A and B are shown apart, each in its own frame.
Chain A
Amino acid sequence: MAVETLSKTKAPSAVPATMDFNWKTAGRIGFIGGILAVLVSVIGMVETFDGRDIIGGVISMGQTVVVALIFATAFMAADRSSKTSPLFHILGGGLSGLISAVMLALFVWVSQLVNLREIFVNVSPSLIAILTFDKELPAELSAAVIQLLLTGLVLGVVAGVLRAAPIKIRNIIFSGMLWVVAIGLLGELIRTLVTGRAIEDQVAWVLGGRLEKGLSVNGAVSIFIFASLLSFISQTFGARIGKEVQTRRAALPATTQRILNGVILLVVFLVLWQLPQYLGLYLSDVANTVGLYILMGLGLNIVVGFAGLLDLGYVAFFAIGAYVMGVATSSAVGDGRGQILFSLNWTFWEALPLAILVALFAGILLGIPVLKMRGDYLAIVTLGFGEIIRIMALSDYLKPNIGGAQGIVGIQPIILAGQNLSNPISLFHVVLIACVIVGFVAWRLRDSRVGRAWKAIREDEDVAAAMGINLVSTKLLAFGAGAAFSGLAGAIFASKLTSIQPGSFSFIVSINILALIIIGGMGSIPGVLVGALALVALPELLREFAEFRLLVYGVVLVMMMLYKPEGLLPEETHKAELHEDENIPAESHA
């Protein structure tokens, strides 16, 4: 039988390798893919993203989203629809792709019959044009539908072929595609970075000129080839080289290793120090925002990651730091009607320790009533605390002191030795130094006696107490340290903007910080950096995403929990625990 000769995979002998094609599964997954594609169109994602081209004139980011959805679901369908036969993989992928396309075609057809815009405001003619390859509707409706179905089928078949291909080839092609999309997305950013520099022309060959959108076709092809090659090399030699480096490193004496680590860190620091010169004003400002989130992330990581105390009102301490800085340094805390009520006129450096101290005490103050609470209860109470602080800042009662809804203006910039450091480029250095100091403190705390006590509390409070750990002081220390870091971030934030309003301290900030910790890896310090880059820098650079930020967060978090629950850069032990069945050899006894 043709099918049997084709199937090279070894099926378990009990199940014959014939006819295990599961067309229902393939169809269902294709259906889901179609629904998702229609959904992202209806909510306006496709059209919003259409403004950015991945490959200039060929495919936009909006189309990429639809294509990626159909492709990914078809791949999944190919994988699930058969265990044995490459032919069935291809068939399953094709079926799934076709059904997804049918759903889209149905959507286009319905949009021609009834006015969907009355309910879904985003179903505009330009959205339909994107989905129908700019055909003239309704005259060319059938042609558009046929092209749509064919595209879906081809996408599905390609996904199926890839599923049937050996894993090594699959990885090579996937990494090629991913790199093209990634560089295409960030093309604008790279172009701004190189403008006016020596390599501008070479970059323009790949990315297209300054005025164009997306990659050039040459560029896309060369990136694809380069990335595939890279993937091939790393797959073939990567493991061996990695092992070699590791063994050589381990063979070095401990002091040499420490010096090596120190040198690497120093080089990274020096590179970062020079960075704003290349980034320019806008990107430096983005980097500063990322830096402030890193500061807060490091703080919340102590509370949530180390000590396991879920805090949903963490923005409160950021607000407290900012408001202390504001009240202490503002030249004019007014009543909002032009009347100046008072001014303390401290400098940034005088107010900074106060801001940190007040935040620290606020952290301890919050900690005292919630000492006995765990998990959900703690989360609710801290959430309430965050809102209390924000609403107090908004209140009329405190308006004479902190400005109410108008907030505080005229906050002093950071001035050191006569130089104003509050422009984005100088501020970067301030933020960088703050991050280094706070990172160092967090790292030393983690490995200290109190760090071990935090971990023990996270695991089991009663047993921790039975080990001689004072639960009260240890928990309060976690709340206090976390709050102090956030207070520092808030103080810098206030001086950066020189004005603050209560609106900057909404609940979503707490959620952002918590999400970046989860994505980076609970309790992992490098994870905070990665999480901040992924959740703060990316949405800032890809502004189209900002509108769909919550949706993307949701999807990313669900995917993370399903496929990488330990986070992107997890703590070693946490990873080991979540993947214990993969790492630990089977035990012979109970």
Chain B
Amino acid sequence: MAMLEVSNIHTYYGNIHALKGVSIEVNEGEIVTLIGANGAGKTTTLRTICGLLKPREGHVKLNGEDLINYPAHELVYKGIAMVPEGRGVFGKLTVEENLEMGAYSRNDKSTLESDKDRIFTLFLRLKERRKQVAGTLSGGEQQMLATGRAMMARPKLLLMDEPSMGLAPILVDSIFETIKLINKEGTTILLVEQNALMALSIANRGYVLQTGQIVLTDKADVLSKNPTVQKAYLGID
């Protein structure tokens, strides 16, 4: 059985039918990516999974347990953490306080320090800036912080929304290296990306979303060779 089972979800914004029956499966230990153009419903899918939006139909199951009736903040306790789109760091809190907020759900002070140290070994720059206010970090550093903060909850499943957004290519490379590392250490990852080339290069499997529907799914290397995908998302003619 898959770790995360999203089956046939329909999500609306008012009268706008944003997701028209999206189904996704993520197995334990995988990196799965969800690619698609602007407005295809990638972020909506992610926000539905983590409870910020409620679907009118369909189910989201984590290890067999239906999550639909839980409010968003309870899902953290079930093992789902999110790195929101546009980073969403707490601008007025320091780097360290941001990380502590990430561990808000855990409430065990004993392991807090060692967990922070673990994040600091993943992201050295954050360690240098631990007392700095997060709003003053550069875009790349904020992305590191948002990722580190989500990891502080020790999630089983990490949802990442466009980690490459607005970053210089060299930083995108390093962020994706870290994603691979996090995955290797045992966290399952569902990655939403516009940068399909990068996303498919590290993912095991991929889903292609188009106007609220899954139009294609396959192993990542197969997808990246698919002519439609190449033409539509990879810019290869």
The residue that B92 contacts in the complex, of A455, A465, A466, A589, with Cβ under 8 A, is A455
Task: Flag the segment in B9-17, B25-33, B76-84 that touches A.
Answer: B76-84
Q: With A460-B88, A573-B133 as given contacts, are A466 and B82 in contact (CB-CB < 8 Å)?
A: yes
Q: How far is the CA of A466 from the CA of B75 in the complex (A)?
A: 8
A449 at the interface (CB under 8 A from B): yes
Task: Flag the segment in A51-59, A225-233, A324-332, A576-584 that touches B.
Answer: A576-584
Check B171 against A589 for contact (C-beta < 8 Å).
yes
Task: Flag the segment in A6-14, A403-411, A468-476, A512-520 that touches B.
Answer: A468-476
The residue that A471 contacts in the complex, of B73, B77, B93, B97, with Cβ under 8 A, is B73
Check A590 against B76 for contact (C-beta < 8 Å).
no
A189 at the interface (CB under 8 A from B): no
Q: How far is the CA of A144 from the CA of B72 in the complex (A)?
A: 75
Q: Please name all residues of chain A whose beta carbon is closer than 8 Å to the beta carbon of B101 when the two chains form the complex.
A: 452, 456, 464, 467
Give the shortest distance, in Å, between A207 (CB) and chain B (any CB). Answer: 45
Give the shortest distance, in Å, between B68 (CB) and chain A (any CB). Answer: 16
Give the shortest distance, in Å, between A264 (CB) and chain B (any CB). Answer: 25
Q: How far is the CA of A465 from the CA of B132 in the complex (A)?
A: 24
Q: For window 71-107 of chain B, which residues contact chain A by CB distance below 8 Å?
A: 71-74, 76-77, 81-82, 84, 88, 90-94, 97, 100-102, 104-105, 107
Check A462 against B104 for contact (C-beta < 8 Å).
no
Q: Please name all residues of chain A whose beta carbon is closer than 8 Å to the beta carbon of B58 when the two chains form the complex.
A: none
Closest to B149 in A: A467
Check A463 against B73 for contact (C-beta < 8 Å).
no
Closest to A458 in B: B92
Q: With A466-B81, A577-B133 as given contacts, are A459 and B90 in contact (CB-CB < 8 Å)?
A: yes
Check B90 against A460 for contact (C-beta < 8 Å).
yes
Check A467 against B167 for contact (C-beta < 8 Å).
no
Check B52 against A465 for contact (C-beta < 8 Å).
yes
Check B84 against A463 for contact (C-beta < 8 Å).
yes
B126 at the interface (CB under 8 A from A): no
Q: How far is the CA of A573 from the CA of B93 in the complex (A)?
A: 7
Closest to A308 in B: B92
Check A452 against B133 for contact (C-beta < 8 Å).
no
Q: Please name all residues of chain B whose beta carbon is closer than 8 Å to the beta carbon of A577 when the two chains form the complex.
A: 91-92, 133, 135-136
Check A590 against B139 for contact (C-beta < 8 Å).
yes
B138 at the interface (CB under 8 A from A): yes
Q: With A455-B92, A463-B84 as given contacts, are A589 and B138 in contact (CB-CB < 8 Å)?
A: yes
What's the tally of chain A residues with a CB closer than 8 Å to chain B? Answer: 28
Check B90 against A455 for contact (C-beta < 8 Å).
yes
Check B138 against A587 for contact (C-beta < 8 Å).
yes
Check A590 against B167 for contact (C-beta < 8 Å).
yes
Check B97 against A452 for contact (C-beta < 8 Å).
yes
A453 at the interface (CB under 8 A from B): yes
Q: For window 165-181 of chain B, which residues contact chain A by CB distance below 8 Å?
A: 167-168, 171
Q: Please name all residues of chain B whose beta carbon is closer than 8 Å to the beta carbon of A590 when the two chains form the complex.
A: 138-140, 167-168, 171
Q: How far is the CA of A452 from the CA of B71 in the complex (A)?
A: 20
Q: Please name all residues of chain A whose beta carbon is closer than 8 Å to the beta carbon of B138 when the two chains form the complex.
A: 587, 589-590
Q: Please name all residues of chain B whose beta carbon is closer than 8 Å to the beta carbon of A587 when the two chains form the complex.
A: 138
B50 at the interface (CB under 8 A from A): yes
Q: How far is the CA of A590 from the CA of B142 in the complex (A)?
A: 11
B196 at the interface (CB under 8 A from A): no
Choose among A452, A467, A573, A574 the residue with the greatest number of B CB atoms under 10 Å from its CB. A467
Q: Please name all residues of chain B whose beta carbon is closer than 8 Å to the beta carbon of A458 when the two chains form the complex.
A: 92
Give the shortest distance, in Å, between B155 (CB) and chain A (any CB). Answer: 11
B144 at the interface (CB under 8 A from A): no
Q: Please name all residues of chain A whose beta carbon is closer than 8 Å to the beta carbon of B71 when the two chains form the complex.
A: 465, 470
Give the shortest distance, in Å, between A527 (CB) and chain B (any CB). Answer: 15
Closest to A463 in B: B88
Q: Please name all residues of chain A whose beta carbon is closer than 8 Å to the beta carbon of B94 when the two chains form the complex.
A: 573
Q: Please name all residues of chain A whose beta carbon is closer than 8 Å to the beta carbon of B52 when the two chains form the complex.
A: 462, 465-466
The residue that B107 contacts in the complex, of A449, A460, A584, with Cβ under 8 A, is A449
Closest to B77 in A: A468
Q: Please name all residues of chain A whose beta carbon is closer than 8 Å to the beta carbon of B73 when the two chains form the complex.
A: 465-471
Give the shortest distance, in Å, between A588 (CB) and chain B (any CB). Answer: 9
Check B135 against A468 for contact (C-beta < 8 Å).
no
Q: How far is the CA of A74 from the CA of B77 in the complex (A)?
A: 63
Check A452 against B104 for contact (C-beta < 8 Å).
yes
The residue that A466 contacts in the complex, of B77, B84, B93, B168, with Cβ under 8 A, is B84
Q: Please name all residues of chain B whose beta carbon is closer than 8 Å to the beta carbon of A456 when the two chains form the complex.
A: 90, 93, 101, 104
Closest to B166 in A: A590
Q: How far is the CA of A340 from the CA of B91 in the complex (A)?
A: 58
Q: How far is the CA of A458 from the CA of B97 in the complex (A)?
A: 14
Q: Please name all residues of chain A whose beta carbon is closer than 8 Å to the beta carbon of B209 when the two chains form the complex.
A: none
Q: With A466-B76, A468-B77, A471-B73 as given contacts, are A580 and B136 in contact (CB-CB < 8 Å)?
A: yes
B153 at the interface (CB under 8 A from A): yes
Give the shortest distance, in Å, between A303 (CB) and chain B (any CB). Answer: 17
Q: Please name all residues of chain B whose beta carbon is closer than 8 Å to the beta carbon of A464 when the two chains form the complex.
A: 101
Q: Please name all residues of chain B whose beta carbon is closer than 8 Å to the beta carbon of A449 when the two chains form the complex.
A: 104, 107
Q: Please name all residues of chain B whose beta carbon is closer than 8 Å to the beta carbon of A463 when the two chains form the complex.
A: 84, 88, 90
Closest to A522 in B: B92
Check B140 against A462 for contact (C-beta < 8 Å).
no
Q: How far is the CA of A458 from the CA of B81 in the complex (A)?
A: 20
Q: Please name all residues of chain B whose beta carbon is closer than 8 Å to the beta carbon of A471 when the two chains form the complex.
A: 73
Choose among A574, A584, A589 the residue with the greatest number of B CB atoms under 10 Å from its CB. A589
Q: For window 138-165 of chain B, which residues contact chain A by CB distance below 8 Å?
A: 138-140, 149, 153
Q: Please name all residues of chain B whose beta carbon is closer than 8 Å to the beta carbon of A580 when the two chains form the complex.
A: 133, 135-136
Check B93 against A459 for contact (C-beta < 8 Å).
yes
Closest to A576 in B: B133
Check A462 against B92 for contact (C-beta < 8 Å).
no
Q: For window 90-129 of chain B, which residues contact chain A by CB distance below 8 Å?
A: 90-94, 97, 100-102, 104-105, 107
Check B91 against A467 for contact (C-beta < 8 Å).
no
Closest to A457 in B: B90
The residue that A465 contacts in the complex, of B72, B90, B100, B168, with Cβ under 8 A, is B72
Give the shortest distance, in Å, between B100 (CB) and chain A (any CB). Answer: 7
| Contact string against B for A residues 554-590, beta-carbon threshold 8 Å, 1 for contact and 0 otherwise | 0000000000000000000110110010011001011
The residue that A467 contacts in the complex, of B102, B107, B135, B171, with Cβ under 8 A, is B102
Q: Please name all residues of chain B whose beta carbon is closer than 8 Å to the beta carbon of A589 when the two chains form the complex.
A: 138, 140, 168, 171
Closest to A523 in B: B92
Q: With A584-B136, A589-B168 as given contacts, are A469 and B90 in contact (CB-CB < 8 Å)?
A: no
Q: How far is the CA of A358 from the CA of B12 in the complex (A)?
A: 40
Choose among B51, B73, B153, B171 the residue with the greatest number of A CB atoms under 10 Å from its CB. B73
Q: For window 440-458 of chain A, which residues contact chain B by CB distance below 8 Å?
A: 449, 452-453, 455-456, 458
Q: Please name all residues of chain A whose beta carbon is closer than 8 Å to the beta carbon of B140 when the two chains form the complex.
A: 589-590
Q: Please name all residues of chain B whose beta carbon is closer than 8 Å to the beta carbon of A453 when the two chains form the complex.
A: 104
Q: For window 457-496 of chain A, which residues contact chain B by CB distance below 8 Å?
A: 458-460, 462-471
Closest to A587 in B: B138
Residues of A with Cβ closer than 8 Å to B? 449, 452-453, 455-456, 458-460, 462-471, 573-574, 576-577, 580, 583-584, 587, 589-590
17 contacts between A and B (CB under 8 A): A455-B90, A459-B92, A459-B93, A464-B101, A465-B51, A465-B52, A466-B72, A466-B76, A468-B104, A469-B73, A470-B71, A573-B92, A577-B92, A580-B133, A584-B132, A590-B138, A590-B168
Seed contacts A463-B90, A580-B133, A580-B135; 17 additional CB < 8 Å A-B pairs: A449-B104, A455-B92, A456-B90, A456-B93, A458-B92, A462-B88, A463-B88, A466-B72, A466-B76, A467-B149, A576-B133, A583-B136, A584-B132, A590-B139, A590-B140, A590-B167, A590-B168
Across the A-B interface, give the 3 residue pairs with the lowest CB-CB distance, nearest first: A468-B105, A468-B76, A465-B72
